[in-house]
Amino acid sequence: MPHIVAVGISHKTAPVEQREKVALTDTTTRTLSRELVRHPDIAESVVLSTCNRTEVYVHALDSAGAEDAICDALVEHSKGMTRSELDCIRYVHLDDRAVAHLFRVASSLDSMVVGESEIQGQVRGAWECSAEEESTGVLSDRLFRQALETGKRVRTETKVAVRPVSVSTVAADLAREAIPDLGGRRGLVVGGGRMAEATARALMERGLGELVVINRTVGTAREIAERLGGMGLGYDCLAAELAKADVVVCSTDAPHPVISAEQVTLALDDRPTRPMVLIDIAVPRDVEPAASGVHGAVLFDIDDLERVVAQHRDEREDHARRAEVIVGEEVERYSAWRSGLAVTPVITSLREMAEAIRQGEIARITAQGGEVTEQEMERIHQVTRSILNKLLHEPTVRAREAAAHMDGMRHVESLRMLFGLDMPDRGPGEVADQTPRGVAARPGADG
């Protein structure tokens, strides 16, 4: 049976300085997903990259070979990370532990902000993206569909998301904490993605007086600003708007900083008594870390959000425990389905062999001579079918029960060996090919 292998890094294992090295753009994510399924050890792959994690989930017969291939691919597509550096901060989960990890991620139990709402959309998007690149199959489609279902169960059956908190709302809260009176203040959001808009909305909800959105595509900036009652501009206005802004939120997918320490210094030169709060929620970072040393500037990056998370952690613990129970139930359900997928061909082959023997024996006896009436033949079939079903009932039930446990698969293999069932081993690609690759009917697709 193919293994599920998950390899990744997250805010729990690496600081932002290292996470940004393996943060993937949409294009890189698609490329990596395609490349992985070309590897002989890997049948299916889904790549998830958010501001707090980069993870790869694959199905493969050789788990060690798949793990090595994933690590090499992450290093190849990184921004200067070495294999030894990655080995020090990565984690690897196998089979049920990999399933449990994904289900916890989709339920926002592994997020920096437990209960945040963005991660479900990010998991969905990762699945859809890989499906569009034809790197998913029956196993990963079921895995990610059930991960989203698990996340929905957790949010519906627990209050883990009570007082909803997300990266965007935490960013806005940090701004309000630094500048208690946001009314009459001017906000500048640099970036045109979903996170940028969500943060801008959160700032407006907290009473921000004015809002300017800057994006490389002016049309996108204007669309966002129009929805929020602000003004949209292009990057050519960045220096001028920086000098007017009290709160600056950066959330772009640029591979390098878009705001330098020098730009911050120039912006604050004419306003020595009026501070500027910069909140950088991008990975890689949008603001040069040296900007934190500029007089009058207060800089927060993605790792600083952990301080706010701690304030909400206690009230979520009880709900999180119930959520962990739900995750455990869903992992068992997926494991049982996956094992059933493996045992079904064995049971089918056993029954086909038994039926062939039954039919052969009837044909041999009737060929020896003597007339057999239609009623007698029907009776012979009824009796022999009944005997066959009774003989196979117990092994079939026990095989399915055994397959529900990873160590029980050895009993299924014993059944195959004892009866000499003709079932040659499949390669990893053949497992994925039980249904066409891609999501035929999937729902729509961390902070």
Q: Going from the N-terminus, what domains does the chain have, and what CATH number goes with each?
A: 3-163 (3.30.460.30), 167-309 (3.40.50.720), 338-432 (no CATH)
pLDDT for 433? 35
For residue 310, how many C-alpha atoms fall within 13 Å in the half-sphere facing its CB? 5
Active-site annotation holds for 51: yes
* pLDDT attached to residue 171: 85
Catalytic residue among 51, 71, 88, 250: 51
Buried b (16+ CB within 10 A) or exposed e, 380-401: beeebeeeeeeebeeebeebbe
pTM of the model: 0.61
Q: What is the pLDDT of residue 432?
A: 34
- Residue 309: the pLDDT is 60
Buried-exposed string 207-246: b where 16+ CB fall within 10 A, e elsewhere? ebebbbbbbeebebbbbbbeebebbbbeeebbeebbbebb
| Tens digits of pLDDT across the chain (447 residues) | 679 999 999 999 999 999 999 999 999 999 999 999 999 889 999 999 998 999 999 999 889 999 999 999 999 999 999 999 999 999 999 999 999 999 999 999 998 877 788 899 999 999 999 999 999 988 899 999 999 999 999 999 998 876 656 778 888 888 888 888 898 899 999 998 788 888 889 899 999 999 999 999 999 999 999 999 999 999 999 999 999 999 999 989 889 999 999 999 999 998 888 899 999 988 899 999 999 999 999 999 888 876 666 666 666 677 888 999 999 999 988 887 777 666 677 777 788 888 888 888 888 888 777 778 888 888 888 898 888 888 888 887 777 666 655 455 566 667 777 777 754 443 333 333 333 333 333 333 355
Render the burial of 35-62: b for 16+ CB within 10 Å, e for the rest: bbbebebbbbbbbbbbbbbbbbbbbbbb
Q: Is 6 helix (H, G, I), strand (E, B) or coil?
A: strand
Q: Write the secondary structure of 335-366 as one string of H (helix), E (strand) and C (coil).
A: HHHHHHHHHHHHHHHHHHHHHHHHHHHHHHHH
Instruction: Determine the Cα–Cα distance for residues 149 and 98; give it in Å rounded to an integer.
Output: 16
In sequence order, which ranges of 229-304 are alpha helices (DSSP H)? 238-244, 261-268
